[in-house]
Structure 1
Amino acid sequence: MNKVVAEVTARIEGRSAQHRARYLEQVASQKAGGVHRASLSCGNLAHGFAACGLSDKDSLKSFTKANVGIISAYNDMLSAHQPYEAYPALIKKALHEVGSVGQFAGGVPAMCDGVTQGQPGMELSLLSRDVIAMSSAVGLSHNMFDGALMLGICDKIVPGLLMSAASFGHLPFVFVPAGPMPSGMPNKEKARIREAYAQGQVDRTELLRAESESYHSAGTCTFYGTANSNQLMVEVMGMQLPGSSFVNPNTQLRDALTEASAKQVTRLTELSGNYTPFSEILTAKTLVNAMVALLATGGSTNHTMHLVAIGRAAGIDINWDDFDQLSKVVPSMTRIYPNGQADINHFQAAGGMGYLIKSLRKLGLLNEDVKTIVGEGLDAYELEPWLNEGKLEWRPSPDKSLDTSVLADPEAPFSPEGGLKVLHGNLGRGVIKVSAVPAANTVIEAPAVVFSDQNQLDAAFKAGDLNRDCIVVVRFQGPKANGMPELHKLTPPLGVLQEKGYKVALVTDGRMSGASGKVPAAIHLTPEALDNPVLTKVQDGDLIRLDSHTGELTLLVDEAELAKRQCAKADLLPNSIGMGRGLFMNLRPQLCGAEQGATLFRFPHEDNQ
C-alpha cells in the first residue's frame, strides 16, 4: 500500500479516536437485537402499518420479517431525480419477493444548483444539505425500520443522506442511484457558445438552444460536477452496488440494479445473520478511499466540505491537510469535463468504475480492509453489471482502458498528482482545483479587483473594466454571510478574459463546485470575510500572489499599511429577502467554517462534557 495513504489513514484514525469511540458506543446503544418495531406499543405499531395492505400488516405483526424504509429525493423538476418516481413500486415488489416489506418513510428536499445558479435561491443550496439530513432523520425516527434505502444523487442531497445515515449508524443502508442522462451537445461546443454569449456574439435564443441540447432528458447532468462525484465516491466506499453509478435511467439494467439493491439491504439487517450496520462501512478507511478517488478523477471541490461534515457525523475528523497530502501521491486518472472534453458516459464506456477501482488498487492507493454492502474488501467493485438473458450478473471490468484519452491506464496517468491543492497565507486558507488549469496560469501575481457581489463582476466585465491582468476578489460569499452560493456565473466572463491573453484568477470565500475549470480559482477561503479582517481590507489595485505550486495565497501589502485600513462592511439584509431566504437567516450565523464542514451541527459524540 502507498506509504502516504497509509500514513494519512493512520493519522485520521489517531486524531479521531476519542470522538469515534463515543460515536460507536452511541450506535451500539441503539441496536434492537431483533426487529425494531417490536419495541413499539400496540398503538404505536397500529399507527405505523395502518395504511398497509393485509399481507404487509400480517408480515409486520409477526416480528420475523424485515421492514425497509425508503427515503427519496424524488421530484419531477430535477432531471436527475425524476426517475425515482417509479422506484418505490419496484422496490416494494422486490422486497416482497424475499419475504420483506417496504414503506416509503419520507421525502427530502432536492434543489438543483443548475436551476438556481446566479439566482437568489442558490443561497439556500449549501444549507439544504443539513436540512436534508434532518428531514431524512424525521422520516426514519418512527423506529419502524430494520434498514433503509437512500434515493438521492445530486449536489447536497447525497452528503445530507450520508450524514443522516451516520446518525442511524445501527441500521444498514444501501444507496440507490438513478444514473446520468445520455450524452447531448459536446461540452466543448457548449462552453464555446456560453463564452460567445458572454461577449454578445450570439443571442439568448442560441444560448438556450445549446443549454437545452446539453441538458435534454431525465438523468444526472453528464459533466463531472458534484452529483457525479457523489456517485463515484459512494460506490468506492462500498455503499451502493458495484458498477451501479453510471447506468442510464429507464433501462432494463437500471431497473434490475434497483431491485437488487432492495434485496441486498435485507441481507444486512439484524434478522439476516449477516448484520452489517452503516457504522461498520463508514470508517476512516472508506473516507480516505473516497478522497483518493475524488482526487484521482478531479472531482468536485465541494467535497472538501462535504466529506469533512460526513466524517464528523460518524466521529471521524478529517481536514484539508489530509486532502493536500493525498493529492501529492494520487495521480490524475481521468479527463472528464471540465477537466477534459469527455462526459461521464464516455468514462463509463472507457471502463467506468470497475476499471478505475482496479487501477487504484493496482497502485496501492485504496485501503483494502473495509466492509461494503456486498461483503469484505473491494474485489466485487472491480466487476461490472450486465444482463445475461434478462438476469442481472456481474462480469470482470476491462483489463485495459478502452479510451486512454478519457480514462488512463495506471502505468500512464495524465499527471503524477491529483487535481487539488490547499492554499494558505495572510488571506487565510483555501482550496484550488488545478486539474484543468493550463500550466502557464498556475502562478498569478496581479492587482486585485474587489467585489462584494457576483453581479458586480458581471457589470464590470460588460463595461470592459476587467480587460487587464487581475485577480478578482469576490468576498462576503461565505456560509455565514449569504449561505455560500456557487459562483458559476463568474466562469464565462473570466474564461473570456483568459482567452484574450490576460492573466486572471479568482479569490473568494464562496464556492465553484465541480465546474471550476481553466481559470485559477482560490475558493472556500477560510475564515470567510465576516471573520477575516485581512480579506475585508483588500482594496482595488493591491497585489495578490496565487501560487498553486507552493500553495501560497498572499496579499502583498505591508502590515503597517493594513493596520491603518478600516474593514469593509457588507449589507447582508438583501440576502435575507425573497425566495424563502428569510426562513434561513437565523441559521446562517451558526454555520462553521468551510474547513470544518460548513455545517450547523455539533454532534453528540463531539460533546466533551
Structure 2
Amino acid sequence: MRLNSVLAEVTERIIRRSAPTRRRYLDLITRQQDRGVSRPRLACGNLAHAFAASGEDKTAIRSGAAMNIGIVSAYNDMLSAHQPYARYPDQIRLFAREEGATAQVAGCVPAMCDGVTQGQPGMELSLFSRDTIALSTAVALSHGMFEGVALLGICDKIVPGLLMGALRFGHLPTVLVPAGPMPSGLPNKTKQQVRQLYTEGKVGRDELLDAEAASYHSAGTCTFYGTANTNQMMMEVMGLHVPGAAFVTPNTKLRQALTREAVHRVLAIGMAGDDYRPLGRCIDERAIVNAAVGLLATGGSTNLAIHLPAIARAAGIVIDWEDLDRLSAAVPLLTRVYPNGAADVNGFHAAGGMGFVIATLLDTGLLHDDILTVAAGGFADYTRTPALRDDHLVWGDRQSVSGDDTILRPASDPFRTDGGMRLVQGNLGRGIFKTSAVSPDRWTIEAPAAVFDDQEEVLEAFRAGKLDRDVVVVVRFQGPAANGMPELHKLTPSLGILQDRGYRVALVTDGRMSGASGKVPAVIHLTPEALPSGPLARVHDGDMIRLSAQDGTIEALVDPVEWAAREIRAQPGSEEGTGRELFTFMRLGADSAERGASAMLAAMEHQAV
C-alpha cells in the first residue's frame, strides 16, 4: 500500500528538522558501540565486583562468552500494574540460560502511581518522576556490564522515562517487557457515575470506595484507556514489544510465554550476531510517526503529547504539536474504549486489539511498514495475535476482521474520520484540545472566564454554586515551571456535572488533564505557561474566552491595547512538603510542554550547543 501523503509529508518534515540533532545522536551511539564502557574493557577489580553475587551465572559472566542482559525494573507492590514484576528477574534469568546467556538486575527505577497521587500534593512530583526514571535508567546501565536490555515498565511516566534513559545507551538491543492489564472489574462508566453522585452528595464515601475497589481490584494495569495503556499501544506500533504482548493479563501461561520470547529476542538481536538491532536505530523518525498515528487512531492519552516529544528528543528527533495536528486530520479514529467509549482494554483486545489496528492502518498506508522492530519477521508480525497451542507460543493469522464493531472498526469505516487531537492557538498561547470523547456541538465554547490558581479553589467554587452558569474555568500556574504540571483529573466529575446540567462549560489550563480526559471540552498544556509571564497570567474573571477545535483557536476576547497593558499576575507562593522542594531544580530548568517539559533534556541540549 502506498504511504498516505500526509504521513509522508509529516515524516519528511520531521526528518529535515531533526537532521543535525539526529546525526549527533547516531554518532554518539556509534562511539558508544566502538569504544564505550563494556565488559571486555573493565579492569579485573571492576568485573569481579560485578559478578561476585551471581551464583551459577558467575562463570559465564566472567568469561564474557555470551550476552548478559541488564534488567531495569520499575517493580513495586503498591502499584498494581507493576506488582507482577516481582517474579520477572528470576524468570528472565532462567529464559536467558536456555540460550546460554545470563541476566542481572542492573537497577530499579521509581514508579509512582498517579491513581494514588491524583489530586494530592504528591502529584506535583509526577511529571518530573519521568526525568528521575531516565536518570535512574542511565545509572543502571552505566556499569558497562550488559550487551542487551530488558525494560520492565508500563505506567504513565515510567515507559517514557525508561526509554529516555535507555536511548543514551542506544547501541544496545532493547525490548520492553509488559505485564498486562488486570481482568475487568466494575465497568468504568459505572465507576464514573458513582464519582459524579458522590460529588453531588448523593452517595457517601463508603459507596464511592466500594465502587473504586471493584474497579481497581487486582494486579495489572487499570483497564481504562489512559496513559499506561496508551504507552503499551505505543510500544507495539513502534515495534519494541514482542508482537501482541501489550494487553495479555498477568500471571497467565501466555503472559509468561511472551516474557520468555522477549528475552530470547534480546539475545537474537545482539551486536555479536548477524541481526543486530540497537534501540537507537529502532527508534527513528518513522517509528516516532507510527507512535503518533497509533495515539490518534486509538484516541489515546493527551499525556503522550508531552511524552512523545521527549522520547523523540532523547533520540535526536524533533517533533511538535503541529505534526500531531496535521496527522490528526488524516488519521481516522478506530476505537471506542473508555473514556472514549464503554469498553475497557480487555474488550478492545478481545475484539482484535493491536493486531487489527496495525493491520487496518497498514492497509490504508497510515503506518510505516519498514521500521526496524525487535520481532523476527518485522512489522508485519504485529498484525497477528499471540496464543498458546500445546503450551507453545504461536501467532494466529493476520487480524483482518474486528470482533466487535462497537469497539473497533477498520480504517475504511471509522468512528470518526480524524484522530481527535487538535492544536489550538491564539493570544493565550498554544495548547492541545482532545475532541475524541467530546460531542461535536461542544467543540466551540465561548463564555466568561472564572480564573483560579489552584484546583481546590475550583472545587470550592463548585460546591458554593458559583459555577452554575456558562463558564470557561481557567486554572493557571499548573505548568512545569510553576509546580511540576500535575494532572487536574480531580476536576472531571465537577465539570461533568455542570455540563450535564445544561451549561456550556470548558477548561483552559497550562496543566495536564490525564489519560482519563473525557466529555468536557478542555484546552490543556497551554504554552507559554503562566509562570513567569505567559498569557494566562493576564486573564481576569469575566473575560470572554473562546476556544474552538473547528478553527484551531484559543482567544481571550479582550481589546489588544488593554490586553498588552495588563499587569502580569504573580504566582501564589509555592508549597513545600511531600518532597516537592527537592524538585526545585527541575522546575527551574524545565522547558515547555510542547518540547516535552524536561529539565534533563533542556540541560543536555544546552551543553551540546
Tell me the TM-score normalized by structure 2. 0.98
Aligned to 2:190: 189
> Cα deviation per residue 1:222-263 (whole Å; 9 max; x = unaligned)?
000000000000111000100000000011100111111111
Aligned to 2:19: 17
Aligned to 1:411: 412
* Secondary structure in structure 2 of the residue aligned to 1:585: helix
Q: CA deviation at 1:409?
A: 2.0
Q: CA deviation at 1:60?
A: 1.5
Aligned to 2:47: 45
* Secondary structure in structure 2 of the residue aligned to 1:24: helix
CA distance in 2, matches of 1:239, 1:80: 19
> Larger deviation: 12-21 or 529-538?
529-538
> Cα deviation per residue 1:274-318 (whole Å; 9 max; x = unaligned)?
211111100000000000010001101111111101111111000
Aligned to 2:60: 59
Asked if the contact 2:590/2:602 (under 8 Å) is kept, the reply is no
Equivalent residue letter for 1:157: I
* Secondary structure in structure 2 of the residue aligned to 1:571: coil
Alignment of 1:175-324 (within 5 A): 175-324=176-325
Equivalent residue letter for 1:368: D
Equivalent residue letter for 1:14: R
Q: CA deviation at 1:158?
A: 0.1
Equivalent residue letter for 1:69: G
CA distance in 1, matches of 2:307, 2:274: 33
Aligned to 1:597: 596
Equivalent residue letter for 2:263: A
**How many percent of aligned residue pairs carry the same amino acid?**
56
CA distance in 2, matches of 1:71, 1:334: 32
Q: CA deviation at 1:571?
A: 1.9
Alignment of 1:360-379 (within 5 A): 360-375=361-376, 377-379=378-380
CA distance in 2, matches of 1:201, 1:508: 29
Q: CA deviation at 1:533?
A: 4.2
CA distance in 1, matches of 2:37, 2:321: 40
Aligned to 2:137: 136
CA distance in 2, matches of 1:547, 1:605: 35
Asked if the contact 1:351/1:398 (under 8 Å) is kept, the reply is yes
CA distance in 1, matches of 2:436, 2:275: 42
CA distance in 1, matches of 2:535, 2:602: 28
Q: CA deviation at 1:376?
A: 6.1
Indicate yes or no: 2:509 matched with 1:508.
yes
* Secondary structure in structure 1 of the residue aligned to 2:451: strand
Q: CA deviation at 1:160?
A: 0.2
Indicate yes or no: 2:141 matched with 1:150.
no
Asked if the contact 2:70/2:150 (under 8 Å) is kept, the reply is yes
CA distance in 1, matches of 2:496, 2:188: 15
Provide structure 1 residue ranges, at least 5 long, that are not aligned to the other structure.
none
CA distance in 1, matches of 2:75, 2:605: 32
Change (3 A) 1:320 1:389: same
* Secondary structure in structure 1 of the residue aligned to 2:330: coil
Change (3 A) 1:590 1:492: same
CA distance in 1, matches of 2:35, 2:128: 36
> Cα deviation per residue 1:411-453 (whole Å; 9 max; x = unaligned)?
2100000010001000000001100101211110000000000
CA distance in 1, matches of 2:52, 2:294: 45
Equivalent residue letter for 1:119: Q
Q: CA deviation at 1:572?
A: 3.1
CA distance in 1, matches of 2:605, 2:431: 28
Indicate yes or no: 2:30 matched with 1:28.
yes
Q: CA deviation at 1:607?
A: 5.2
Asked if the contact 1:23/1:605 (under 8 Å) is kept, the reply is no
Aligned length: 606
Equivalent residue letter for 1:321: E
> Cα deviation per residue 1:307-342 (whole Å; 9 max; x = unaligned)?
101111111000000000000000000000010111
CA distance in 2, matches of 1:183, 1:557: 49
Alignment of 1:99-178 (within 5 A): 99-178=100-179
Aligned to 2:546: 545
CA distance in 1, matches of 2:506, 2:79: 32
CA distance in 2, matches of 1:10, 1:537: 38
Aligned to 1:98: 99
* Secondary structure in structure 1 of the residue aligned to 2:276: coil
Aligned to 2:431: 430
CA distance in 2, matches of 1:179, 1:328: 31
Aligned to 1:480: 481
Q: CA deviation at 1:565?
A: 2.4
> Cα deviation per residue 1:127-152 (whole Å; 9 max; x = unaligned)?
00000000011011100000110000
Indicate yes or no: 2:585 matched with 1:586.
yes
Aligned to 1:558: 559
CA distance in 1, matches of 2:133, 2:427: 35
Equivalent residue letter for 2:63: S
CA distance in 2, matches of 1:102, 1:66: 8
> Cα deviation per residue 1:575-595 (whole Å; 9 max; x = unaligned)?
xx1111111123211000101
Asked if the contact 2:532/2:570 (under 8 Å) is kept, the reply is no
Asked if the contact 1:19/1:605 (under 8 Å) is kept, the reply is no
Runs of 4+ in 1 over 4 A off after TM superposition: 32-35, 603-609
Asked if the contact 1:351/1:397 (under 8 Å) is kept, the reply is no
* Secondary structure in structure 1 of the residue aligned to 2:462: helix
* Secondary structure in structure 2 of the residue aligned to 1:446: strand
> Cα deviation per residue 1:388-422 (whole Å; 9 max; x = unaligned)?
11111111243210100000122210000001000
> Larger deviation: 336-345 or 31-40?
31-40
CA distance in 1, matches of 2:155, 2:560: 43
Equivalent residue letter for 1:42: C
Asked if the contact 1:225/1:515 (under 8 Å) is kept, the reply is yes
Asked if the contact 2:243/2:385 (under 8 Å) is kept, the reply is yes
Aligned to 2:357: 356
CA distance in 1, matches of 2:183, 2:466: 40
CA distance in 2, matches of 1:124, 1:508: 18
Asked if the contact 2:114/2:126 (under 8 Å) is kept, the reply is yes
> Larger deviation: 222-231 or 599-608?
599-608
* Secondary structure in structure 2 of the residue aligned to 1:513: coil
Asked if the contact 2:533/2:568 (under 8 Å) is kept, the reply is no
Change (3 A) 1:458 1:253: same
Q: CA deviation at 1:33?
A: 8.4
Aligned to 1:345: 346
* Secondary structure in structure 1 of the residue aligned to 2:602: coil
Asked if the contact 1:383/1:397 (under 8 Å) is kept, the reply is yes
CA distance in 2, matches of 1:604, 1:301: 25
> Larger deviation: 188-197 or 563-572?
563-572
Q: CA deviation at 1:35?
A: 10
CA distance in 1, matches of 2:567, 2:186: 49
Q: CA deviation at 1:363?
A: 1.1
CA distance in 2, matches of 1:528, 1:396: 49
CA distance in 2, matches of 1:557, 1:37: 64
Indicate yes or no: 2:572 matched with 1:571.
yes
Equivalent residue letter for 1:9: T
* Secondary structure in structure 1 of the residue aligned to 2:445: strand
Equivalent residue letter for 1:486: E
Asked if the contact 1:35/1:270 (under 8 Å) is kept, the reply is no
Indicate yes or no: 2:322 matched with 1:335.
no
* Secondary structure in structure 2 of the residue aligned to 1:589: helix
| Superposition CA RMSD, Å | 1.3
